[in-house]
């Protein structure tokens, strides 16, 4: 017990004096090479983490972006027209959506004029159609778009193949492009499939011969297919085919033709412009009309 007390009360050796703080002229020795390597490694590790996080954010952003924000239709400033916000017309009470599970034929119950694509900002109503708000047009008025020698056969087919109504809208943009959009409503989708007025053999006024729009085919094939996505080139409603007058255009204008089948409705989209019809606004018009019909 005495020994333990003696050990507990033994004097503790004084701690060595702390080195004096360096004055302004004191030179601090450089860190050892190993320590510098450690600091460098830590800096590179932090940089890698930052870039990895940024890369993940970019990948997520692209994965979640709307297709119209990506190349194709695509980045703003690529020549797209400024369309107003699209709004589908109200359906009659109890009527199903065109793509509803209880609507196998994809019948459109909304007013046909309400399904017409609105004109883009800055466009003027086309004098040929006088349809600034959309209107129902006669079969003969629609057939004026076709070469005279093909009208009689087309009219006979429309009269015998379940045509119910035609709605149309036309406009001219400041760059001189004239656009005519026609929506043909039939009694069922089967009659739409029988329509022969919108294919590569179509003879239009001023454009007696057509070829495939290869730019459309190329961009469409490059877009990943996503089921149910109406904004992408893989359209959600029926078959879509685009054609153009071969270059050089007959005369001083070129015509492009867009054909879109959506249930009981056939859309016929025509664009004509001096020189050449611009690719992006033509594709954009077809895609947006598809959204309204989808």
| Radius of gyration of the chain, Cα coordinates, nearest whole angstrom | 34
Structure confidence by residue, pLDDT tens digits, 102-138: 999 999 999 999 999 999 999 999 877 755 556 899 9
Contacts of 166 by beta carbon, 8 Å cutoff, 6+ apart: 136, 137, 138, 139, 141, 142, 182, 183, 184, 185
Would you say residue 169 lies in a domain?
yes
| Pair type for strands 163-172 and 124-125 | antiparallel
CATH number (domain holding residue 213): 3.40.1000
Would you say residue 35 lies in a domain?
no
Would you say residue 28 lies in a domain?
no
Would you say residue 39 lies in a domain?
no
The pLDDT of residue 77: 67
Would you say residue 104 lies in a domain?
yes
Residue 99 confidence class, pLDDT cut points 50, 70, 90? confident
Structure confidence by residue, pLDDT tens digits, 26-85: 444 444 445 554 444 444 444 333 333 333 332 222 223 333 333 334 445 678 999 999
What is the number of structural domains in the chain?
Answer: 1
Would you say residue 267 lies in a domain?
yes
Residue with tokens 């412009």: 273
Would you say residue 191 lies in a domain?
yes
Would you say residue 107 lies in a domain?
yes
Asked whether 112 and 136 are in contact (CB, 8 A), the reply is yes
In the predicted structure, residue 227 carries a pLDDT above the cut 90: no
Look up the domain containing 255 and give its range.
81-88+100-293
* Nearest to 273, CA basis, from 167, 172, 168, 195: 172
Report the C-alpha gap between 275 and 182 in whole angstroms: 24
**Angle of helix 214-222 versus helix 279-293 axis, rounded to 10:** 60
CB-count burial class (<10 Å; 0-12, 13-18, 19+) for 91? middle
């Amino acid at each position: 017990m005495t020994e333990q007390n003696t050990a507990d009360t033994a004097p503790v050796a004084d701690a060595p004096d702390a080195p004096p703080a360096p004055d302004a002229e004191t030179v601090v020795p450089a860190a050892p090479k190993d320590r510098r390597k450690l600091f460098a490694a830590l800096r590179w590790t932090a940089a890698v983490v930052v870039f990895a996080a940024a890369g993940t954010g970019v990948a997520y952003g692209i994965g979640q972006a709307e297709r119209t924000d990506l190349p194709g239709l695509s980045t703003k400033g690529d020549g797209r027209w400024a369309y107003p916000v699209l709004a589908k017309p109200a359906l009659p009470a109890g009527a199903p959506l065109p793509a509803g599970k209880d609507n196998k034929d994809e019948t459109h119950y909304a007013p046909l004029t309400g399904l017409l694509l609105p004109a883009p900002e800055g466009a003027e109503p086309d004098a040929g159609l006088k349809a600034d708000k959309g209107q129902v047009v006669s079969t003969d008025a629609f057939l004026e778009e076709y070469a005279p020698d093909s009208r009689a056969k087309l009219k006979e087919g429309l009269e015998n193949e379940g045509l119910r109504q035609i709605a149309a809208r036309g406009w001219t943009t400041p760059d001189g492009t004239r656009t005519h959009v026609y929506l043909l409503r039939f009694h069922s989708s089967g009659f739409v499939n029988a329509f022969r007025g919108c294919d590569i053999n179509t003879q239009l006024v001023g454009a007696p011969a057509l070829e495939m729009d290869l730019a459309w085919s190329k961009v469409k094939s490059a877009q990943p297919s996503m089921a149910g996505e109406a904004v992408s080139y893989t359209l959600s409603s029926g078959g879509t085919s685009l054609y153009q007058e071969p270059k050089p255009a007959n005369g001083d204008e070129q015509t492009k033709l867009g054909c879109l089948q959506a249930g009981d409705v056939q859309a016929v989209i025509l664009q004509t412009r001096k020189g050449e019809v611009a690719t992006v606004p033509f594709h954009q018009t077809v895609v947006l009309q598809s959204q309204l019909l989808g």
